[in-house]
Amino acid sequence: MDLRQRLDGAVVMAPMTRGGNLPYRRLCAELGARVLMSEMTVARRLKQKRRGEFALIRRAPGEPYFGVQLAGTDAEEMGWAAALVESRGADLVDVNFGCPIDHFTRKGMGAALGRQPKRIRRIVEAMKRAVAAVPVTAKIRLGWNDADRNYLDQARAAVDGGADAVIVHGRTRDARYRQSADWEAIGEVAAAVPVPVVGNGDILFPHHISEARARSGCAAVMAGRGVLIKPWLFREAIGGYEDITPDDRLAIYRRYVDLAREHWGEDEHGLTRVREFVAWHLGFWCRYAPRRADLTWPGMQTREGAAFARSPLESLLARGDEAAIAWLTDRLVARDDVDPAEAPAPSAAPGSASDRDESAEG
């Protein structure tokens, strides 16, 4: 199956720092994900043989189609890294030209490269030369800011370099995750280049998938925050919207804990890692809200709170305060019962959703 066939109609799991950890990818694959991406991996750190970076390119057992996203500024180094991840079992290699995080853009990576289409072409060319058989894709944003929306130049440069597909996050770097994605702009890219285009932004419910594809002409959509909030989105993409019960949600979260314990281990060090990741994921899971009673839908850019809750457990799962997250983390990791009557009173307000968003999706 070639890449175009692989992507056709797929919901691709976005490359996400922390969010794309191996146990979470396994969970998403069990829930129907067909194409999954690693966390953003820095090519130079691979060359320095950093153990933590090599962990990011490890394929999960049973992962149906696994892409590794690489970040870097040196074309030859990126080519070397592309060959390495191909040899380690990746099905495709993606290049990060869109990460907005200051730590990386100050080093010239991610969205900083989006300001230099000629460098995009050179990096993709070097990676295409280096790999034997796997596709190379490029993930871009719409530009640095609204005054510099050069997404067509970026996409064409990537294709000129040999990219087999282009992934477009429908926001500028300066917009971060604060504005709705611009699917008209994504559609302009799909119309302008001869390779498949994957559109990324604000996919949260199954009707968003069909609407986004119809609006843009994309071969596929990519979901990041949407599948952190509700990993069963992949199942909904196949079978339609589910008014999922809080007990069913809890079962999914418990499954993640089982996969995390298997991955990081049952010793003190392993369980510490499990707790860290479960607490981090709960900060997204608490944002889930079902279709409203008036049949309208929650959006990605707003928080619904717990007003919709139809049971004490649903109300508890909607809490994003530190006390609730810590208590739920302890219960889930210990595999204890979750009785809402025993939960602590709310603590301080949750942290900024935009800060958490920015730490996730590359």
List the catalytic residues.
Answer: 99
Residues forming a β-bridge with 92 = 67
Q: Where are the beta strands (DSSP E) in 172-288?
A: 197-200, 220-223
- What is the C-alpha to C-alpha distance for residues 184 and 192, in angstroms, rounded to an integer? 12
Query: CA of 258: how far to CAs of 94, 250, 266, in Å?
Result: 29, 12, 10
DSSP-derived 3-state class of residue 51: helix
State residue 222 phi and psi, 5-degree precision: -120, 140
Q: Which two tokens stand for residue 116?
A: 């230099």
CA-closest candidate to residue 84, choices 50, 115, 109, 112: 50
DSSP-derived 3-state class of residue 209: helix
Task: Answer for the pair 224, 361: CB distance below 8 angstroms, yes or no.
Answer: yes
Other residues' Cβ atoms within 10 Å of the Cβ of residue 121: 21
